[in-house]
Structures are given as C-alpha cells and as structure tokens.
Amino acid sequence: MIFNLQELAVPIVGAPMAGDPGTPALAAAVSNAGGLGFLAAGYLTPQKFAEGIAAARAAASGPIGVNLFVPQ
C-alpha cells in the first residue's frame, strides 16, 4: 500500500516519542479523526511491539505509523 500525506482528511500527525506518552488507542484515535496516528515503539519488547500494532490496527479505520529507533 502506498500512502500519501496529502490523502489525510485532517493535516495532523500524532507522533509520540519513546517513553510511553502514546498508546495504541491514541494512535487509532488520531487515525480515526482523519490524521495519521503513530505508535511509539522505541523501548518496547518485540512482543509488546507486535501487540501494540495489532491493537492499533484493530481500533483504527485508517493508516497508522510506527515511531521506532534502536538505542545503543
């Protein structure tokens, strides 16, 4: 699937950083409101990462993104 930011109904990107300020529910809410919600995953275990993506996808009617970095 190719996604273009110009397709957003609302020009908002909800992109929390790592450290747990965001949740799958927040990412889904931003997506459902017409923006692009992100799931912060920098400090998540692979299991929690997969669970968060599944939860956000289940609750979102549109696309979601993942904010991922790998700390040293």
Asked if the model's pLDDT at residue 71 lies above 70, the reply is: no
Does the pLDDT at position 33 exceed 80? yes
- Quote the pTM value: 0.83
Q: CB of 60 within 8 A of CB of 31?
A: yes
Predicted confidence at residue 3, as pLDDT, reads: 79
Per-residue confidence at 67, pLDDT binned at 50, 70, 90?
confident
In our burial notation (b when 16+ CB lie closer than 10 A, e otherwise), range 24-57 reads bebbbbbbeeebbbbbbbbebeeeebeebbebbe
